[in-house]
Amino acid sequence: MDNITSVIAENISYKVNDNKLFHNLSFSLNTGESLHIKGPNGSGKSTLLRIILGITNPTKGLITINSTKDKCYLGHKNALKNYLSLDDNILLMEFDNHPCLKKYIEILDLKRYLDVNVANLSYGQQKKLGLLRLFLNSSDLIILDEPFVGLDKETQIILTDFLTDQLKENKTLIYTSHIECDIDSKTLLLK
């Protein structure tokens, strides 16, 4: 399949009060490409992701996304309901009939916790449950904010392999990470 432009950012600027977070940022990504946004804390990595997602409006500039499908996003919050069991949370994510659900439940070692309330799981286990959103996604654009935080080494490798496969399937990936990972990516450095 030919690579086509998936995301175009033109002269994106964002400022909080009078403090410029970033200024005239431009980049473009084709399908099958990955962008690793790097920078110190407070440099605006998460804000840039939220601008790409359309949650936050940039002060200036334009983002164009060539996909009509839902975007796949994992942020700092896992969007899980603490008072519900894993099973119920999967139902809320609308993955209960997904053909690959069982496979990933086993890979992530969550099978024995299906009846357990999310509040009783460790942070890492909650993060794994949140990862189902990514593993069972059907979108063209994947946006991840620090996806490796809280995961054990084994799960980090599973995640890296999965993301590499997704790129081979011509999906586009944009992520931030302070943890080094082996994904072939373009780099955008925010100061």
Partner 1 sequence: MNELKLEYLKLKKKTRSWLGPILVFWLIMLAFPLTVEFMQDKLEIGFFSVLWIAILISMMLATEDIFIEDYNDGSLEQTIIKNTSFQFLISIRIVVYWLMIGVPISILSFIFSLGTSEDLLLSISVIPLSIISSYIFLNLFALGSALSLNKGSLLGALITMPLALPVLIVLGKSIIAFQLGINYLEFILLLLGCLSIIIIAVPIIVSFIIKAHLE
Q: Could you list the residues that contact partner 1 (CB under 8 A)?
A: 53-57, 68-71, 73, 75-84, 88, 91-92, 94, 133
Query: Where does residue 28 rank: exposed (0-12), middle (13-18), buried (19+ CB within 10 A)?
Result: middle
CB of 72 to partner 1, least distance (A): 9
Least distance from C-beta 80 to partner 1, angstroms?
6
Q: Which amino acid is at 83?
A: Y
Angle between helices 153-168 and 123-135 (to 10 degrees): 10
How near is the Cβ of 136 to partner 1 at its closest, in Å? Answer: 14
Q: How far is the CB of 180 from partner 1 (least distance, A)?
A: 25
Q: Which is nearer to partner 1, 31 or 137 (CB)?
A: 137
Radius of gyration over every alpha carbon of the chain, rounded to an integer in angstroms: 17
Shortest reach from residue 181's CB to partner 1, in Å: 22
- Count the residues in the chain: 191
3-state SS, residue 165: helix
21-27 long-range CB contacts below 8 Å, 24 or more apart?
A: 21/47, 22/48, 22/190, 24/61, 25/61, 25/188, 25/190, 27/186, 27/188
* Of 65 and 105, CB closest to partner 1: 65
Of the two residues 139 and 164, which places its CB atom closer to partner 1 in the complex? Answer: 139
Question: Which is closer to partner 1, CB of 15 or CB of 71?
Answer: 71
Q: Which is nearer to partner 1, 62 or 92 (CB)?
A: 92
Residue whose token pair is 């086993």: 106
